[in-house]
Structure 1
């Protein structure tokens, strides 16, 4: 091959033409890669043009102007959470947690000047992507600071016993209300779904003493419950017996009063009859008395008025003997 033919094969114009095509293809690929964005089904895309808000795009493919526009993807349909006093190091069937470097944010002072270790979780959603990005600088960090401030305020108004035992649900509800009001005031576009107290314990240095106090309080509550149960078992029965005795006494008194009134009325009626016919009434009373007394006697003796003749009548109460044929 001659030198003239070799120079034709390496013509610079040919090389420039292909270099331009290659560079143009690379630029086109870069433009396509930077201008086509995919917004997930749980997200919204907030487009910033030259540093200012331009529009909000819904899930799907979205196109932006390269080097002039920028898109932020905000998970508006996803429940998010923040952990305080611990972090989840691995989420699986048996999650693992790390607490070593986060004790400062969970150590709090109660209203009665005692220390307690409070671990909690807030669950929230982003309901307004524009406010989330533009109303507050670094909204997630601000939400963490607000949550810690709200928890310290609520815990600081209660005693250590309330925080560790009966007041946990009330504390969580109060923090949720207070934190939501702070979010509304800051207009950060966040809605608080739930505040959960994960674990509440006394500091490690006083934990044995506190457990002993708790055991004593639980034993006291047990004895009080047993005493109340015994009271509820004995007192109602005693009251029932007392009521029954009173009712029996009232019934007996009513019966005696009614009987006395009946006897008094009967005596008055007999007396009135006696006044009208003394002899007849006397005879009737005599016969009624004999009729009532004679059946109670075994042997009977009948005499005349002067008592000169005595005629004993034997076996007046016995049945007559049958004669043998």
Structure 2
């Protein structure tokens, strides 16, 4: 099969004519792409001109000087950011995936009673000043990570392992948040700490069974103490109430007897005064009043004379009701 030779003749005049236009178009595109910047709705754009801070631009379409004369750094000032210690999140969602391998040095800490504990935590923060964030501290995010780890080790080192593992977790998180914010204000890094969360606190794996046994014993002790306090709160107040009731009854009985005795004494004195004034009348009245009280309490009544000759049964006298007192 015969070979064909294809000759392409390029006109030098054509090249000279269009090469300048092509280069011009490329130059214009380079200038356009290097000067037009879009800032997102959650960001601020910090513009640096020849290595020096020039201005801060707001979200939207912005223009800067091209060809490296000005550079823009986009800072997410309206977004909550976070740093994880002792673990990393691989995928976030309803069932997030985490990895811990390789990050144990961040979370392994020494407590105040010389015990080791594995503390995993999250620092949630916001950038409030993009200028300070870029220029006041070199690599502000790395500095914040170092500060967070230092503060956490200091706070954990002031407490016992039982406090860290059980009742002191919330207090530790609050203390770290306060101390970390103080450091951020001192460094003027433009960061506000929103929250510090202790994700998980565990003893080291080799001693975890022993720690779990100790925790179970402590929980059982607390349960028994709570039960004893419940029994105490149930029995002691009841006994105090019964004692108070008995005392009040005794006082009431004493007051009743004293008042009754005083009344009887006053009645006797009044009766004696009346007797002195009219002895026969008073004697007769006392006799009649006494008989009036005694006769209704006797069953069948029979009246005889002094010699016993005449007998007079009093029929139906026991059916006569005594007068109402």
TM-score under structure 2 length normalisation: 0.91
Contact 1:301/1:310 (8 A) holds in 2: no
Give the distance between the partners of 1:85 and 1:26, measured in 2 at CA: 49
Give the distance between the partners of 1:49 and 1:296, measured in 2 at CA: 125
Contact 2:296/2:318 (8 A) holds in 1: no
Structure 1 stretch 179-188 or stretch 267-276: which is displaced more? 267-276
Displacement of 1:69 after TM fit? Answer: 1.1
Give the distance between the partners of 1:278 and 1:101, measured in 2 at CA: 118
Residues 218, 167 of structure 1: alpha-carbon distance in 2 compared, 3 angstrom cutoff: same
Displacement of 1:24 after TM fit? Answer: 1.5
Give the distance between the partners of 2:268 and 2:182, measured in 1 at CA: 90
Partner of residue 250, structure 2: 249
Residues 319, 120 of structure 1: alpha-carbon distance in 2 compared, 3 angstrom cutoff: closer
Deviation string, structure 1 residues 220-271 (Cα, Å, up to 9, x no partner): 1111111111122222222222222111111111111111111111111111
Give the gaps of 5 or more residues in structure 2.
Answer: 1-6, 320-325
Partner of residue 323, structure 2: none
Deviation string, structure 1 residues 69-106 (Cα, Å, up to 9, x no partner): 11111111111000000000112321100001000010
Contact 1:46/1:57 (8 A) holds in 2: yes
Displacement of 1:57 after TM fit? Answer: 0.9
Partner of residue 288, structure 1: 289
Displacement of 1:11 after TM fit? Answer: 4.1
Give the gaps of 5 or more residues in structure 1.
Answer: 1-5, 321-325
Displacement of 1:294 after TM fit? Answer: 2.4
TM-score under structure 1 length normalisation: 0.91
Partner of residue 312, structure 1: 311
Moved over 4 A (4+): none
Structure 1 stretch 229-238 or stretch 266-275: which is displaced more? 229-238
Give the distance between the partners of 1:16 and 1:252, measured in 2 at CA: 131
Partner of residue 161, structure 2: 160
Deviation string, structure 1 residues 147-198 (Cα, Å, up to 9, x no partner): 0001011111111111111111111111011001100110111111110000
Q: Matched residue of 1:229: which SS?
A: helix
Give the distance between the partners of 1:130 and 1:207, measured in 2 at CA: 46
Contact 1:301/1:312 (8 A) holds in 2: yes
Displacement of 1:142 after TM fit? Answer: 0.3
Partner of residue 322, structure 2: none
Q: Matched residue of 2:53: which SS?
A: strand
Deviation string, structure 1 residues 280-319 (Cα, Å, up to 9, x no partner): 2222222222222223333545455xx3353222243458
